[in-house]
Every structure is written in structure tokens, then in C-alpha cells.
Amino acid sequence: MIEPGEEARPGAVIEFNSSVLAAFVQEWGGEPVKLPKVGDDPSLLKQALRRAVEQNHVVAIIAGSSAGEHDFTAEIIAEEGELLVHGIDVMPGKPAVLGIVGGKPAIGIPGYPVSAIVVAREILQPVVGRLLGSGPHRVPVVRATVPKKIPSHLGLEEFVRVTLGRVGARLVAVPLGRGAGVITTMVHADGFLRIPTLVEGINAGEEAEIELLRPLDEIDNTILCTGSHDLSIGVLEDRLKLSYPELKIAATNVGSLGGLLALQRGETHIAGTHLLDPDTGAYNVPDIKRTIPALPVVLIHLVQREQGLLVRRGNP
């Protein structure tokens, strides 16, 4: 593990979870104290835990909370105090550890970055708020239409990252990647959609409550682009930000036809399409007229690209 700013090397992982959690604690009114990293050695971890408990009101141990060979967080909390819970019905964030050491809360934070953020918001914040006397942090909530089905697991409360955009009078919530380690989704996320424990998912077209991660005025400046994927969308957003830094493009890849149908349902501002009509040899126009004949649209030729297969020389 290396600190942000250190020279990267093969096999090294940048440790940024502590910086994220420290920023959260500061935002909630607490005073974060970052202690030196400790290796996967139970005796060293116990010593570090004792020092942390002596010097602080709450202790958060990052990583080591799962059930792997080198995951010792639950073990050292149990030996140094009382282990209350190992594993919660939340995704991402299931391996969290809760305990009491020296009369103070000790929380095992999962190492995967999105899991760490969810556990910090759901468990660490209420603890900090209780100690400060400020209570739970109130998160602004809005209702938004979900354009695509989101399946979920029964028995787990799932926190789905979404990006939001306003199409006409309604907000649209587009789900992002769901991996616990995909930290880039938190950069693009405008909010969390909670799927309750006893619900198997959200159907396409349903309205859902979204807990906001950024102000609504920023969300109103989001351009939703749904349809076929193309690298030029990212290039276009970079160019756009040079002149209009307040604007954001949120791209969702559902294929050309899916993009046209999203336009028809009022779920996107732009649809990326590259559909070839086999009868006429023309691109896009025949399919647009067939699929959304009554919808007034403007067709803009953005890029021309070549596609093919890369094979080893001599094959065939």
C-alpha cells in the first residue's frame, strides 16, 4: 500500500480510503486522526488498536474485515473487547465489523472503496453524530424515474449508484456499475438508490427515491446520452468542459435501438445510433423513421469510424 502522491510501482495499491473517510468525518463535524498503516500481523494490529482507543472517541479499522486468511479485524476486536456483529445485510459493505473496545465504538470498514463509503455513511456517521449530539445526517431525497430494470438480491439492502438528469419536467436515474471496487462510479454518481431487503429489484419505468450526493442545480446541468457506445462521447465531454465546465455528459450504453426507444419514452436527451438498413444500405434514417416516426428529432453526424478484427499476422 502506498500513499497518494508516492511513485507507483508494480503490485502497489494507492491507499485512499483513509483520506475519503477523513473528509467525511470532517464534513460531519468531527476531527479525523489518520494513524500509520499496519501490516497483516495480529499482534501489531492489537497494539495499534489499543493506542487508537486510548487517543480517540471512535476507531475505524480499514480493511481486514472479510473472511480471508489475512483478515484479522473481527478477531482482534473480539480479543481486545466485544465483537457485536461481523457481517451486515448491506451490499456493497456486507463484511463490516461492529464492536466495543475500551468502552468505545470500533468499526471494521471493508477495504473495497465503495463498500467503505457505504459503511461510513450508514454506520460511522450515526455514531459520530450521536457523540456530537447532532443526530443522524439528513440527506436530501428526490424521486426519479428508473429507465431500465435493476435486479437485486433478496435479503440484502442494496445501494445502487445512479447518475441523474432532468428530461422535460421529470428526473431520470440511470444506474451505474455495481462493483464494490469500482470507485470511478462514485466520481460520476449523483445519488444512491436504496433497494430494500425484501425487494427483488426495480422495474423499468418505476419511480424510486434517490439520496442525493450533489446539489440539484448541478444535476440540472447533466446531459443524458443513451444508446450505442462510442469513445468520442468522452472526448466530446472533455471538449465541452473547456467552454462550459458546469455541464456534464452522462452516457449509458444500451445499443442503438435502445437509445431510440429511450428518446421515445422521454428518458434521454441524446441517443447514439449507427443502424444500417439492409434493404437500402442507408444508415440510421430508415430505422429512425420506423422506430420513432412521430417523434420530432434532429440527426447529427458526429463521427465516422472503422471497425474490424485484429488478428496475428499470417492468420489467416
7, 106 in Cβ contact below 8 A?
no
Task: Report the interhelical angle of 42-55 vs 73-80 (nearest 10°).
Answer: 60
- Residue 182 has what pLDDT? 76
Q: Is the domain of 94 the same as that of 21?
A: yes
User: Measured between alpha carbons, how far is 168 from 309 in angstroms, rounded to an integer?
Assistant: 41
Question: Secondary structure of the chain: what % helix, strand, coil (to 5)?
Answer: 30, 25, 45
- Residue 53 has what pLDDT? 97
Residues counted in the chain: 316
- Residue 25 has what pLDDT? 96
- Residue 262 has what pLDDT? 93
Q: What is the value of pTM for the model shown? A: 0.86
- Residue 289 has what pLDDT? 95
CB atoms within 10 A of CB 168: 8
- Residue 72 has what pLDDT? 93
CATH number at residue 292: 3.40.190
Residue 282 lies in a domain: yes
* Three-class secondary structure assignment of 202-245: ECCCCEEEEEECCCHHHHCCEEEEEECCCCHHHHHHHHHHHHCC
* Single residue among 116, 132, 148 that ends a domain in this structure: 132
Question: How many folded domains does the chain comprise?
Answer: 3
Determine which helix (DSSP H) or strand (DSSP E) holds 82, and give its type and residue range.
Answer: strand 82-86
Q: Is the domain of 125 the same as that of 179?
A: no
Q: Is the domain of 211 the same as that of 225?
A: no
- Residue 123 has what pLDDT? 96
- Residue 3 has what pLDDT? 82
Domain range enclosing 278: 221-316
User: Measured between alpha carbons, how far is 20 from 111 in angstroms, rounded to an integer?
Assistant: 12
93, 179 in Cβ contact below 8 A?
no
> Which residue is it, cell 452522462?
250
* Single residue among 215, 234, 249 that ends a domain in this structure: 215
- For the chain, which residues score pLDDT lower than 50? none
